[in-house]
Amino acid sequence: MKKIIAMLLVAMMVFGGSVVSAEGVNLATMTTEELLALHEAVDAEIDARIGCEPSAIGGGVYTAGETIKPGVYIITCAEAYAEEGMQVQVYADHAQYEEYRAVFDSYKPDYQLFAGVIMPGESVSISLSDGMVMVIDGGFGHVQTVTPSWAP
């Protein structure tokens, strides 16, 4: 009886494994939407395995060291309130942010270290040092901490 069960298990592993390896994934035949869905599924599985789940982040002013930890982040737009998308801006400190706000009507990009507009599903990488200010406007999304394997 044990020999029969062992032979069945071996047969299942041999034949079952060959079916799985023969299928494969042909990325060239997939549509962009299918590739994006696969990308999200792979990211979600990796995040689940390493315990890194994205947190929701809404519009607002975030100061590194006060309302958000200094670090490297990926901000992904979940929903934009306007056709133009969600704005993400980074300033060196509160003084630069206040100067920008004072001259906002004339738009002075000199005060911004980074300014970008992202649409739903798009992401941007942001590095925040202590005291830097990040502004999110026109939408909400998800934020993930990035810890490069090469960083000390």
pLDDT at position 17: 45
More confident residue, 147 or 129: 129
The answer on pLDDT for 55 being more than 90 is no
pTM: 0.61
Q: Which residue type does 28 have? A: A
Structure tokens at 72: 């490297």
3-state secondary structure of 140: strand
pLDDT band (50, 70, 90) for residue 59:
very high
Q: Which residue type does 124 have? A: V
For residue range 19-53, what is the model confidence (pLDDT) as tens digits?
333 367 788 888 888 887 787 778 777 766 766 65
pLDDT at position 44: 72
Residue 38 half-sphere exposure, CB side, CA atoms within 13 Å?
10
pLDDT band (50, 70, 90) for residue 75:
very high
Dist CA 93 CA 77 (whole Å): 24
pLDDT at position 111: 65
Give the rounded percent of residues in the chain with a pLDDT score beyond 90.
39
Q: What one-character DSSP code corresponds to residue 134?
A: E
pLDDT at position 129: 92
Dist CA 40 CA 99 (whole Å): 39
Contact 82, 137 (CB under 8 A): no
Contact 126, 88 (CB under 8 A): yes
pLDDT at position 147: 75
Dist CA 126 CA 16 (whole Å): 45
Give DSSP secondary structure letters for 64-108.
BTTTB-SEEEEEEEEEESSTT-EEEEEESSHHHHHHHHHTGGG--
Average per-residue pLDDT for the chain: 78
